[in-house]
Amino acid sequence: MPGKMNVMVGEKSPGMIAGRIIVYTLSILAAVYFLIPFFVMVMTSVKTLEDIKSGNLISWPREFTLDAWIKAWDSACTGINCEGVKGYFFNSILMVVPSVAISTIIGAVNGYVFSKWRFKGSEVLFTFLLLGCFIPFQIILLPMSGMLGWLKISQTIFGLALVHIIYGLSFTSLFFRNYYVAIPDEIIKAAKIDGAGFFRIFWKCILPVSAPIFMVVIIWQTTQIWNDFLFGVAFSGSESQPVTVALNNIVNTTTGVKEYNVDMAAALIAGLPTLLVYIISGKYFLRGLTAGAVKG
């Protein structure tokens, strides 16, 4: 790899330089394109309402204030309730943490079985599981609500988490299976001869080398589940709504003046956790995604 880099730096043909310029220009344009709305949101959220009405969208705030953030968190109205998003934010945490944890752990075991303990019919089973990745959310809404009702957990955070666990299993199993396929079978054989069984091999030989794929799956699941709106709207009650649904309610509450700064602050609050997760562990995400491709 270093050799290749040197070649690139060392011999700069005009064509190469032109290529570089195009790549950089496009990347910067793309970044600006995506960052402008974010910038506008942040700006708007720290302005006063008068400021917003008089100025233009991208102007600098005349007076910096966190009032909108405080209101969004504590007292904004979501329908008839006026207690901000805080309760719903914690709902989301209560929903995301167990569903990510459980779907990831089961996915890891599934991946381990489908890659290293194949049995008669396991390929077929895996294919069916994969189909789950292609089923649109909308299709399962009705049967799922029927099932939640039957289990008597409709409109609860637990029920919502269960939906996310089941829906996520296809993806987590696929991720783990593809990662574990790259681990040589001979290591498993060696461990079997060394006397280790199914769980000891998983625990001692597989899990310790699984950090990258755990990062990928955790990030993927956290983002998916935290950002989900449809399941949240369909399966939660007024007390168990996740923050995405609450945000929608704040923005759509039509009484009084439209408080853009509060809307923006609420949206940022709702988006912050996934943003943080990605900023903190994004590099592991990329590393994990490519790890399977490189033969160790």
Instruction: Give the residues lining the site for other proteins (CB under 8 A).
Output: 184, 186-187, 189-196, 200, 204-205, 208-209, 296
Measured from the CB atom, is 2 or 208 closer to other proteins? 208
CB 122 within 8 A of CB 177: no
Q: Which runs of E-coded beta strand occur in 57-149?
A: none
- Report, in Å, the least distance between residue 291 CB and other proteins: 13
Distances from the Cα of 145 to the Cαs of 69, 97, 133, 161, in angstroms? Answer: 35, 22, 20, 13
Distances from the Cα of 202 to the Cαs of 109, 143, 173, 191, 291, in angstroms? Answer: 8, 35, 15, 10, 19
Measured from the CB atom, is 63 or 186 closer to other proteins? 186
Measured from the CB atom, is 53 or 189 closer to other proteins? 189
- Report, in Å, the least distance between residue 201 CB and other proteins: 10
User: Identity (one letter) of the amino acid at 141?
Assistant: L
Residues 6+ positions from 22 with CB-CB distance below 8 Å: none
Residue 183 φ then ψ, to 5°:
-75, 125
- Report, in Å, the least distance between residue 119 CB and other proteins: 12
- Report, in Å, the least distance between residue 216 CB and other proteins: 18
Measured from the CB atom, is 89 or 176 closer to other proteins? 176
d(CA 274, CA 248): 18
Measured from the CB atom, is 188 or 246 closer to other proteins? 188
- Report, in Å, the least distance between residue 104 CB and other proteins: 19
Tokens 């960052």 correspond to what residue? 35
**CA-based angle 15:19:22, to the nearest 5?**
140
- Report, in Å, the least distance between residue 171 CB and other proteins: 26
143-169: string of b/e by CB count within 10 Å (b at 16+)?
Answer: ebbebbeeeebbbbbebbbbbbbbbbb
Map residue 229 onto helix, strand or coil.
Answer: coil
- Report, in Å, the least distance between residue 205 CB and other proteins: 5
Measured from the CB atom, is 49 or 182 closer to other proteins? 182
Measured from the CB atom, is 225 or 291 closer to other proteins? 291
